[in-house]
């Protein structure tokens, strides 16, 4: 409580009764925390933070360097974000970006066949915010074909129904030799330019508002509907300064602990 600003405390207090009394109150409280976090209203902005615009300039310079070295191909220009695509206002130090522009979507790994790697089927990816993925240890040569690739630090999001709607997504960590492969029903973001605090992106992907919007974009027949790569890669994403991302993640974690306590209290009643 000592670390929370007065507005946040008031906001929580205002919704405590609702959370305890309404059947879906706890769920709505969690959604509210994630929503205001992604709008830049959960923690104060610090004028000393390096704005996200500077981060984007550094990424562009790094891309040019990698192209010149022959490490990556010249990226295709992304369509500019139109005003009608922007769902809400964010602080001046933030920028609206496309994930495709600040990292790599659905990357591939290159490794020796005989090294240990982590195999992650869908049941080992969880909807809960603080639950880490688990894995089976397999040789890379056994899993490198026919599966989605990822490595430590990547963010994976389930794209198929009902896993997507349930919020199944994870920040891959602890993989043997740092690499893995798994279910083909994932979209993966590789944070190649360290533009995002992984858990910030994870909170964004688990926000019910993002999931609801994605549900409307799904394609395919009943029972086999999937979120298109374009939604994951190109939907405008609110990018705060890195320092603020860390503060937001810490505040979300703090508040979610309190919401868990409220849930236990309500269940006990």
**What is the tens place of the pLDDT at every residue in 51-70?**
999 999 999 999 999 989 88
pLDDT at residue 2, rounded to an integer: 40
Q: Would the pLDDT of 251 be above 50? A: yes
DSSP state of 79: P
Closest C-alpha among 240, 257, 258 to residue 248: 240
* Proportion of the chain above pLDDT 90, given as a percent: 74
pLDDT at residue 188, rounded to an integer: 98
pTM of the predicted protein model:
0.91
pLDDT at residue 74, rounded to an integer: 86
Q: Would the pLDDT of 4 be above 60? A: no
C-alpha pair distances (Å), 115 with each of 106, 121, 245 = 22, 19, 35
Q: What stretches of the chain show up as alpha helix (H) in DSSP?
A: 6-21, 25-38, 52-69, 99-102, 140-143, 198-206, 208-217, 229-234, 242-268
Q: What is the pLDDT confidence band of residue 9, given thresholds at 50, 70 and 90?
A: low
Cα–Cα distance, 166 to 149 (Å, whole number): 22
pLDDT at residue 44, rounded to an integer: 92
Instruction: State the average pLDDT over residues 85-113.
Output: 96
Cα–Cα distance, 184 to 40 (Å, whole number): 34
Helix, strand, coil distribution of the chain in percent, nearest 5 = 45, 15, 40
pLDDT at residue 3, rounded to an integer: 46
* Proportion of the chain above pLDDT 70, given as a percent: 94
- Rounded to the nearest integer, the mean pLDDT of the chain is 91
What's the pLDDT tens digit per position in 13-28? 777 777 677 778 888 8
Instruction: State the average pLDDT over residues 172-179.
Output: 96
pLDDT at residue 266, rounded to an integer: 80
Instruction: State the average pLDDT over residues 18-45.
Output: 87
């Amino acid at each position: 409580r000592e670390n929370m600003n007065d507005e946040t405390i008031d906001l929580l207090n205002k919704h405590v009764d609702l959370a305890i009394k309404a059947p879906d109150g706890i769920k709505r409280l969690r959604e509210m925390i994630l929503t205001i976090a992604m709008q830049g209203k959960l923690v104060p902005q610090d004028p000393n933070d390096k704005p996200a615009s500077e981060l984007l300039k550094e990424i562009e310079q790094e891309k040019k360097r990698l192209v010149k070295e022959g490490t990556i191909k010249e990226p295709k220009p992304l369509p500019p974000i139109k005003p009608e695509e922007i769902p809400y206002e964010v602080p001046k130090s933030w920028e609206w970006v496309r994930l495709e522009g600040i990292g790599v979507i659905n990357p591939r790994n290159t490794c020796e066949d005989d090294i240990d790697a982590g195999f992650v089927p869908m049941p080992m990816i969880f909807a809960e915010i603080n639950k880490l993925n688990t894995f089976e240890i397999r040789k890379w040569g056994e899993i490198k074909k026919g599966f989605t690739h990822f490595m430590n630090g990547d963010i994976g999001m389930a794209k198929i129904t009902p896993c997507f709607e349930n919020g199944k997504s994870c920040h891959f960590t602890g993989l043997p030799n740092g690499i893995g492969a798994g279910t083909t029903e994932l979209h993966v973001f590789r944070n190649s330019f360290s533009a995002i605090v992984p858990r910030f992106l994870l909170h964004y992907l688990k926000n019910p508002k993002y999931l609801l919007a994605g549900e409307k974009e799904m394609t395919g027949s009943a029972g086999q509907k999937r979120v298109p790569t374009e939604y994951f890669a190109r939907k405008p994403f609110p990018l705060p300064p890195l320092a603020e991302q860390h503060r937001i993640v810490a505040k979300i974690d703090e508040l979610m602990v309190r919401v868990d306590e409220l849930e236990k209290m309500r269940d006990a009643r």
